[in-house]
Structure 1
């Protein structure tokens, strides 16, 4: 199966969020399962600066986007069994940031158009293209549009992965022709029109052959108005092709036993390094070195749907507990100002870094004891998986991927891998935080077992890759996993041997009824036909019929059954119907 994965960012080349982690790990997992995989993404400035010397220039072409005739260069890189393609246009992508420009619609309109028109220059013609979020939402639409005129595009199937439905790519419908080069009919028939706006994500959902969310729970939530950002009717309409596949993490990259970025390595069998990482984190963040005080960590974008309103409401009650709090992230100004102010109120017990630093985040994952994610909505979430991998027990709200990955601690049967609450309410969150802190303080053995269960969870991409391949197989009509190469052609004797059991079972049932009195009549009927290709099979049938009475010996002891001669004649007649002929006297 040939798969082209279209994305706007991917680790290790460029990253702003969880999409990059998925795009950086899933393709290599698909390749490990035997698929032929390539990834295509823009050639941003930061990619050129870091990896320019490793890129190979393949060719260039011109892409028509509305009234524009635009240059597009094609570069490639081989890595982990995957071919990485980079589409180059300095006017659109030679910029310091990936997103946030007034012409983002035109930039990613060009990218989607170039993905389709540059297919001729790739090393294979894909069976399926996996698109991601609104930045590549025009790919299924362009394939449908071009497929009307060019038959070759009709063989390509598309899937759309929705990482966060909040970002939909909405524009004024009057720019459809000038900006994206599409006919007004796409808006007039409602395919791209949503609430009076041109909605690229809606069009992709309708045009794609399959749509998948990044967790099973999120796939169900997308059909509800509370989570779908006014797209619930579209998602319910496309429910027949909607799937939910839980994301994974790179288990080798996030391995506390050999991670070089943390102060001390450790494992579930030897947790001594975890204590050293905690002490290192406390020194690094300016906290008091109190080994028996649990460190609660938050590593997140500081935006409303991450549930930060709940923390703002009960922060002072949280800090009354015997715990320390660490916050790392940046985002909305109101949350940045609140956490900066709160850290000044609790010196030595609360530390805040209003930035995102990969090295510091790994120190927090390794050194903290509890990880807080009270999200209002969370399509999948990778932070809780990474935290569990490093023995940091999560406290989450039951939504999206958090519900699929974290199971509530149950003291009565010593089960679960974290702490959860269902209602979006600050008091419910505070209750669970209090439960977690006092389990750590008062019942260290129970907390240690809980931590080990969290570390034992399997969040590898191998599981998720298999589910993606089943979706691809469903839309392409291919069989997956692919059948192995057929062995050498069997000889007639081998074919006869494979057919013998079924025929022998029939003969074995008929033979006891015929008994020995019908032997003379039955034997001529079982004689092989003159056709040479059927001789081996019928000799096997004859042999089975002769041996069957010896296996079932009891009918001989009872003597002749009434009507046994007629039964034998009937058996002989049935044998003739199968194509055998009696010998001529």
Structure 2
């Protein structure tokens, strides 16, 4: 199916779409595999094909990053001659269309000085100094581009702060009064916050919009707040996170804005692409296996022990894996006060893969010397090794202080590594405690970001592993049977889109 949303010059090529078909524009600042810094990119790679399979007429719009323009993707068309005002400057841009392997069109907003850079948002010195200019420009250019289309989309679905100005910009365009905007918060910890003197870039009336009931945020202004304040509805990437961010503990100063419109704040879990994340077909692990034939996981455990230089006797003991960015949010620091207990008293093996906070990296490196052959720390990002850890570990630990959704624990379920998680955000929504729900559980939870609570949950899991091997296998079988596919998530988005068109947000 070709996209029915197009410029007049493309009309003869693409045709019109029946009025019953949902027309959706998805806007984001990154997309795997070409332009990625985090989970948003994975969502933009996997959600669109799932939506398209439901018959939704879909278009993606992203910045024209160097990483996408030079990826060798065939160009379908280039439109030039567009301009936007950025403060006192009139800036030109082009729109280059490419198309995914699944046939979904992607329009790239192209301007070399804005997006032709080695990285998306930052370099080794920190955030790019002109990120406000870059993403205000992107939002304003997108609004100009949309006005050239013959057919207006039903839904403009924006994602994270980089797209936050789009809802307020579209409000002033008569043709878009019938369109609904949805703004998805993937992580409230990135607010797109800028100094007051940058507000003029937006072209918005400060008397109307630089206010507490607008974009102003404690003397600065936030593009994230713009999205959550002016969109028809706000979604997050898990039901629990949708509730948490309306509370002071998790709201990061935005809880009042979100609580005031709680009826239009919803949570939809991200999904997993099981074509890419399955031990039955993963080419990177030592042996493939399924929930019916788990013998391959034993081979994967032996391979992990060898790769990480762990003691051979750990083949018979639980191995705990952590695959994570190393920062305060992820809670990996909780492991340090209890590491001695884990490896010396409980006799577990521990493998941590990740990079981030340098102090934490140094502490983990020192610990790996102290507990050699029982604890391994690999300070890098390595997709292949992460899969080998999921396949070889018995337990995956995710001790996050907050977690909007989380994907690693869902990957772990399919690979038969039982998750131990803090009961927050998407971790709470995707893991059922095996002790609290004896007949349906398949993981272990703890309530507070406290080392002793984390230790207690690990101890519970290790006890089941050692004392009840048949129960452990049953939990693995149950975990590997769970379905967190994108098809489920796409159906929820489809229902939300239709409710927005009917002005019936939940």
Structure 1 equivalent of residue 395 of structure 2: 370
Relative to structure 1, the CA distance from residue 53 to residue 29 in structure 2 (aligned partners, 3 Å threshold; closer, same or farther) is closer
Aligned pair partner of 1:380 in 378, 398, 405: 405
Q: Is the 8 A contact 1:176 1:183 kept in 2?
A: no
Pair 1:12 & 2:33 matched: yes
Structure 1 equivalent of residue 274 of structure 2: 251
Q: Is the 8 A contact 2:285 2:387 kept in 1?
A: yes
Whole-Å separation in 2 of the counterparts to 1:96 and 1:294 = 42
**Displacement after TM superposition at 1:73 (Å):** 2.1
Structure 2 equivalent of residue 467 of structure 1: 492
Pair 1:183 & 2:208 matched: no
**Displacement after TM superposition at 1:40 (Å):** 1.1
Relative to structure 1, the CA distance from residue 122 to residue 446 in structure 2 (aligned partners, 3 Å threshold; closer, same or farther) is farther
Structure 1 equivalent of residue 318 of structure 2: 294
Structure 2 equivalent of residue 490 of structure 1: none
- State the SS of the aligned residue for 2:31: coil
Which fold has the larger relative contact order, with Cα–Cα distance below 8 Å and residues 6 or more apart in sequence? 2
Whole-Å separation in 1 of the counterparts to 2:139 and 2:389 = 38
**Displacement after TM superposition at 1:461 (Å):** 1.1
Whole-Å separation in 1 of the counterparts to 2:96 and 2:149 = 10
Structure 2 equivalent of residue 350 of structure 1: 375
Aligned pair partner of 1:87 in 102, 106, 109: 109
Whole-Å separation in 2 of the counterparts to 1:277 and 1:120 = 54
Pair 1:324 & 2:349 matched: yes
Q: Which piece of structure 1 moves more, 198-207 or 280-289?
A: 280-289
Structure 1 equivalent of residue 3 of structure 2: none
Structure 2 equivalent of residue 71 of structure 1: 92
**Displacement after TM superposition at 1:444 (Å):** 1.5
Pair 1:58 & 2:85 matched: no
Q: Is the 8 A contact 2:309 2:373 kept in 1?
A: yes
TM-score scaled by structure 1? 0.78
**Displacement after TM superposition at 1:197 (Å):** 1.4
TM-score scaled by structure 2? 0.90
Whole-Å separation in 2 of the counterparts to 1:338 and 1:280 = 26
Q: Is the 8 A contact 2:76 2:99 kept in 1?
A: no
**Displacement after TM superposition at 1:263 (Å):** 2.2
Root-mean-square deviation over aligned CA pairs? 1.9
Whole-Å separation in 2 of the counterparts to 1:429 and 1:212 = 30
Whole-Å separation in 1 of the counterparts to 2:291 and 2:360 = 36
Whole-Å separation in 2 of the counterparts to 1:16 and 1:189 = 31
1:217-236 deviations in Å (ceiling 9; x for gaps): 11111111000101111111
Q: Which piece of structure 1 moves more, 213-222 or 423-432?
A: 423-432
Whole-Å separation in 2 of the counterparts to 1:344 and 1:38 = 51
Q: How does 1:535-574 map to 2 (within 5 A)?
A: none
Pair 1:304 & 2:324 matched: no
Structure 1 equivalent of residue 192 of structure 2: 169
Whole-Å separation in 2 of the counterparts to 1:190 and 1:142 = 16
**Displacement after TM superposition at 1:261 (Å):** 2.4
Whole-Å separation in 1 of the counterparts to 2:339 and 2:402 = 21
**Displacement after TM superposition at 1:381 (Å):** 0.6
Relative to structure 1, the CA distance from residue 329 to residue 9 in structure 2 (aligned partners, 3 Å threshold; closer, same or farther) is same
Q: Is the 8 A contact 1:76 1:85 kept in 2?
A: yes
**Displacement after TM superposition at 1:7 (Å):** 0.5
Structure 2 equivalent of residue 393 of structure 1: 418
Aligned pair partner of 1:137 in 142, 149, 164: 164
- State the SS of the aligned residue for 2:240: helix
Structure showing greater radius of gyration is 1
Whole-Å separation in 2 of the counterparts to 1:122 and 1:96 = 32
Pair 1:430 & 2:455 matched: yes
Larger relative helix fraction: 1
Relative to structure 1, the CA distance from residue 86 to residue 52 in structure 2 (aligned partners, 3 Å threshold; closer, same or farther) is farther
Pair 1:41 & 2:59 matched: no
Whole-Å separation in 1 of the counterparts to 2:306 and 2:74 = 39
Q: How does 1:11-30 map to 2 (within 5 A)?
A: 11-30=32-51
Number of aligned pairs?
474
Pair 1:275 & 2:298 matched: yes
Stretches of structure 1 lacking an aligned partner (at least 5 in a row)? 480-585
Whole-Å separation in 1 of the counterparts to 2:308 and 2:109 = 41
Q: Is the 8 A contact 1:373 1:395 kept in 2?
A: yes
- State the SS of the aligned residue for 1:52: coil
Structure 2 equivalent of residue 99 of structure 1: 121
**Displacement after TM superposition at 1:41 (Å):** 1.1
Relative to structure 1, the CA distance from residue 478 to residue 194 in structure 2 (aligned partners, 3 Å threshold; closer, same or farther) is closer
Relative to structure 1, the CA distance from residue 98 to residue 285 in structure 2 (aligned partners, 3 Å threshold; closer, same or farther) is same
Q: Which piece of structure 1 moves more, 93-102 or 71-80?
A: 71-80
Whole-Å separation in 1 of the counterparts to 2:214 and 2:503 = 29
- State the SS of the aligned residue for 1:395: strand
Relative to structure 1, the CA distance from residue 338 to residue 269 in structure 2 (aligned partners, 3 Å threshold; closer, same or farther) is same
- State the SS of the aligned residue for 1:243: strand
**Displacement after TM superposition at 1:27 (Å):** 1.1
Whole-Å separation in 2 of the counterparts to 1:369 and 1:333 = 28
Relative to structure 1, the CA distance from residue 142 to residue 411 in structure 2 (aligned partners, 3 Å threshold; closer, same or farther) is closer
Q: Is the 8 A contact 1:66 1:182 kept in 2?
A: no
Q: Is the 8 A contact 2:25 2:157 kept in 1?
A: yes
Q: Is the 8 A contact 1:67 1:181 kept in 2?
A: no
Q: Which piece of structure 1 moves more, 313-322 or 401-410?
A: 313-322
Q: How does 1:399-438 map to 2 (within 5 A)?
A: 399-410=424-435, 413-438=438-463
- State the SS of the aligned residue for 1:71: strand
Q: Is the 8 A contact 1:210 1:471 kept in 2?
A: no
Whole-Å separation in 1 of the counterparts to 2:210 and 2:229 = 13
**Displacement after TM superposition at 1:180 (Å):** 2.3
